[in-house]
Amino acid sequence: MSESPPTTPVCYRHPGRETYVRCTRCDRPICPECMREASVGHQCPECVNEGRRSVRPARTAFGGGAAGRHGYVTKALIAVNVLLMLLSIASDRGGDAAVGGSGFGGLMGGSTPLTNWGSVLGLAVFPDGTLGGIADGQWYRLITAMFLHYGVIHLLLNMWALWVLGRSLEANLGPLRFGALYLIGGLGGNVAAYLFSAQNSATAGASTAVFGLFAALIIIERKMGRDISQVIPILVINLVFTLTVPGISIPGHLGGLVVGALMALVLAYAPRGRRTLVQVVGAAVILLVLVGLVLVRTAYLLG
C-alpha cells in the first residue's frame, strides 16, 4: 500500500498560498499578508482583534478615560466660548454696546444683544415692554451664561485660566468627568447668582465654572498627594479681586467655588469598588439640590 505525499500547509485565509508559519495563539497557518507582529512570533488578524477586545482600556486614578491627557474637552470649551464671543460682537449691529464707552460689540466690556439674551437674569422688564428672566421660564440662561462674556478682555482672562486648569484636571479625571465638573460648577455659580443677586441684575462669564475648577484642582491634587502651594496664592488673589473689584458677581464666583468643590469631592473620594455609581449618584444629587434652589427662588420672585 503506497503512502500519500505530505500536504503542504496553506494560509487559512488565503488557501492558494503555501506557508509554514503559524499563529502563536490559534496555531493556524498564516501567509505573510496575514502575519501580525507579536511579542513572540506572529499572530493572525482574528487573534489580534480578539486580543484588543480583551484588553481593558487605560483609566485614570478617578475612573476616567486616558484620552483626557489630550485635553480635547478643554479645547472644545475654549472654542465654544470664543465662537460665542464672535457671535456676540456680530449681534451688536447697531453699535449699542458703544454707549458709555464700553466698546463696539462689547470689545471693552459692554453688553450685546446676545449677552442680554443669555445672561443670568432673575426677572426684569425689557426696553420693548416684555417681561423676561429665569423666573419667567428662561432657565436656559443658567447654562448659556457660562459661555458668554462682557468683552474680549473678560474672555481672555477666563480662557487663560481654563487652559491652565483644564488640561491638568482633564488629564486626571478623564474627558467625561472633567466635562461634568465644568458644567456643574458653572451651573452652581449661576444658580448662586440667581439666588443672591438683584432680580434685574444680569451676569455672565465662564468664571463661575473656572472658580469651580480652582477648587477642584486643589482637592484632586491633594488626593493624589501633590503639592498645592502654588495654587492657593492664585486662588486667594482671584478671591480678593472678586471681593474688591466693582461689577464682579460675588455670588457667582463663590457659588462656582463651592459647587465645584463638592463635585470634586464626589469624583475624588468615591469608593473604588462602586466608583462610577457613586460619582453619578453624587452628581445627580448636586443637580437636584440646584434645581430645588432655583424653584424656591422662582417662587419667591413670582409670589
Catalytic residues: 207, 253
The long-range contacts involving 263-267, CB below 8 angstroms and separated by at least 24 positions, are: 263/180, 263/181, 263/184, 263/185, 263/188, 263/212, 263/216, 264/181, 264/212, 264/215, 264/216, 264/219, 264/220, 265/219, 267/62, 267/173, 267/177, 267/181, 267/216, 267/220
The long-range contacts involving 7-15, CB below 8 angstroms and separated by at least 24 positions, are: 12/44, 13/44, 13/45
Using CA atoms, how far apart are residues 247 and 285, in angstroms rounded to an integer?
32
Match 466693582 to its residue by C-alpha cell: 246
Q: How far is CA 68 from the centre of its chain?
A: 10
Using CA atoms, how far apart are residues 46 and 7, in angstroms rounded to an integer?
24
State the virtual CA torsion across 32, 34, 37, 42 in degrees, nearest 10. Answer: -80
Using CA atoms, how far apart are residues 83 and 65, in angstroms rounded to an integer?
27
On whether the CB atoms of residues 97 and 110 are closer than 8 A, the answer is: yes
Match 500547509 to its residue by C-alpha cell: 9
